[in-house]
Chain A
Amino acid sequence: MYVAVKGGEAAIDNAHRLLADRRRGDRSVPALTLDQIAEQLALGVDRVMSEGSLYDRRLAALAIKQARGDLIEAIFLVRAYRTTLPRFGCSEPVDTSAMMVERRISACYKDLPGGQLLGPTFDYTHRLLDEELDGDAEVEPGHQRADAHEPVSRIADILGGEGLIEEDLEQSPLEEPGDINQTPMEFPLSRAMRLQSLSRGDEGFLLALGYSTQRGYARSHPFAGEIRIGEVEVEVFSPELGFAVPVGRVQLTECQMVNQFKGSAKAAPQFTRGYGLVFGQSERKAMAMALCDRALRAEELGEDIVAPPQDQEFVISHCDNVQATGFVEHLKLPHYVDFQAELGLVRAMRAEHAERQAESLPDMKEAAE
């Protein structure tokens, strides 16, 4: 059946060719440029960078183009590329309190040092379709703040004074944060490893899980302590120089969720925190991540584990959309060998069933008579 071997190859080649054709679509419509995607579909690009865990707008835009706008496929393309890149080492922890914030809000205070800064948000837009966008009408530039950048203190620093909220954890200099790419996943995972997984976990999955905690599954009474979006500097320690040097800037969205906590045998009553941090502007994801992080701390805080969002095996094993989509979609692959085995079994069982029916039928007839 060597002929068929060739047939399979030709079929795949032709499928790829048709895919390329469909991706391009109507040739009379100009092709999208990567700049157009990066500039005008920026939030999609941010999601691909965040869940693809590679901070590169151009590659993310390329992946979106190649994936025909299927963001999970684009995330997969980026992941498959990043896995081949050399790993130079760890950056210094980024300092989000030194962030150049473009947006910063807190739901806990009416006003706070640094102020409430709405930034480019959909929050108070009316969701009415804007026919103007069908064309390329002139768009006014946004207002720029003239005054100097005021330091924007973090919610933890504000509440921290009274011991009302748990402190930031100090990372011991000897303790490596771990890397989910370099170590096999073994449960239970440290919080650092869980946060890494959540940060590149599927937005939809985390959103649904976070939502469920608001609806009574592992309820944790959250307040959006603070959400901030902006650029931070990334520094890498250089052994040659003996100090850390900046290597670039990344845009991040950080969410500090503040959760009521009655106290347990392990901890005194105080506000606890759930944490979310993702690449780019992705507030929904950062908030969902913070809710999930808090729920996953149940064991550490001595809470009863009663719902899926508190179960790290459940959450972390299923939050990666590249893994999930792969395994769900692999059902498309041929399974006929196993199906054949099941066919044989069902046929045999049906035959036995029919035999038993036939045997018992006369008895039943008798009984009826």
Chain B
Amino acid sequence: MNAPTYNFAYLDEQTKRMIRRAILKAVAIPGYQVPFASREMPMPYGWGTGGVQVTAAILGPDDVLKVIDQGADDTTNAVSIRKFFQRVAGVETTTSTPEATIIQTRHRIPELPLHEGQILVYQVPIPEPLRFLESRETETRKMHALEEYGLMHVKLYEDIARNGHIATTYAYPVKVEGRYVMDPSPTPKFDNPKMHMSAALQLFGAGREKRIYALPPHTEVISLDFEDHPFEVQRFDKPCALCGAENVYLDEVVLDDRGGRMFVCSDTDHCETRRQSLPLEGRVGGEAAGVGSSKTSATSIFDAVVHAEGTPPGRTSSGHPPLKGEGSR
């Protein structure tokens, strides 16, 4: 057996062409799910094979690739996918949002607004926004064709009737250019407004389900809602405990088994960049948080957290999320 040799970016050119055709169609019909002959990839289905195929099809030798999972460059799957493209395409990779030409993501949109020429590639598990209302593909395709979205509005209405508000917090459905209802992938609804009129091209790949869809730059993307129950994003009542950023999505980090927790930026690059640009005294956790220090090698987020104890904005130990007005910066 000869050692297998792989084409640039793993996929053969024929397959790439097939995927590009699907992408072009998707861009031409924003929000419409284009079926494509998804290939087996060397990572499992559910690990981002759709996103990986889209990235492989659009990647050129001059591209600079960033891969995030849960907003972070350091999550294991993001590391693994980045390494994959380093190996099979030899492209430059980065963790910096503005420097990347292609950003592959799972579950988040970077906090920093994307600029023209950038492409955001989403990994999508279930591309069909109507799937959990109607399990049959033959039916849901018909519903999209007829623009029959009543079922979705009834579902949202029932949420309000039961809970007083819409109980969907991620994969919150959107309507694209007033036509197709689209699944934004399981990003928290916090990120939905970032899709609207974005300057970047947004591509969505679902490998197992064999669908590609897209939002061309400057596309209208509206989260579904009602006049008397307008769409709202999650709000965090405290800024990031590490960089002090407000109006960003935060991860809850459990500190101990006594209910101690802190909230830090989910977007690691955003957090890192802010901490580097802040004056030393302005940084939460300061030197001890692992920034500005020359010996940062052993610093993990937990070290940063432990050292940040006693810095009031940097921690809550009350066991509940920071409430409005409690210890603001």
Contacts and interface: CB of A to CB of B under 8 A. Distances in A.
A340 B254 CA distance: 12
A342 interface: yes
Interface in A336-351: 336-338, 340-345, 347, 349
Interface residues of A, number: 53
A74 to B, nearest CB: 13
A340 to B, nearest CB: 6
A3 interface: yes
Contact of B37 (A183, A329, A341, A344): A183
A319 B107 CA distance: 27
Interface string B1-45: 100101100111000000000000000000000011111111011
A12 B42 contact: no
A135 interface: no
A21 B265 CA distance: 37
Interface in B186-203: 186-190
Query: Which of under 10, 10 to 19, 20 to 34, or 35 or more describes the interface residues of B?
Result: 35 or more
Contact of A327 (B46, B271, B290): B46
Contact of A82 (B40, B49, B71): B40
Contact of B79 (A2, A9, A59, A79): A9
Nearest to A180: B37
B299 interface: yes
Nearest to B106: A333
B38 A184 contact: yes
A142 interface: no
Given A84-B10, A341-B169, A8 B76 contact: yes
A5 B95 contact: yes
Contact of A326 (B136, B208, B298): B208
Contacts of A2: 95, 272
Contact of B45 (A5, A59, A323): A323
A7 B76 contact: no
A5 B68 CA distance: 11
Interface string A293-310: 000000000000000000
Contacts of B329: none
A352 B164 CA distance: 10
Interface in A6-21: 7-9, 11-12
A347 B321 contact: yes
B125 interface: yes
Interface in B91-134: 95, 106-108, 125
Contacts of A322: 40, 44-45
Interface string A57-68: 011000000000
A136 B299 CA distance: 56
B299 A3 contact: yes
Given A329-B46, A330-B45, A337-B266, A4 B35 contact: no
B138 A188 contact: yes
Nearest to B253: A336
B300 A3 contact: yes
B74 A4 contact: yes
A182 interface: yes
Contact of B4 (A11, A84, A187): A84
A325 interface: yes
B74 A8 contact: yes
A80 B40 contact: yes
A330 B188 contact: no
A327 B164 CA distance: 33
A68 B152 CA distance: 46
B294 interface: no
Contact of A9 (B83, B167, B320): B83
Nearest to A11: B76
Given A1-B268, A326-B46, A342-B169, A83 B41 contact: yes
Contacts of A338: 107, 169-171, 186, 188
A50 B27 CA distance: 38
14 contacts: A3-B298, A4-B72, A184-B35, A184-B37, A185-B35, A186-B35, A326-B49, A328-B46, A334-B75, A337-B266, A338-B170, A340-B188, A341-B189, A341-B190
Given A12-B80, A313-B137, 8 more contacts: A1-B74, A2-B95, A11-B76, A80-B42, A84-B7, A184-B38, A326-B208, A334-B76
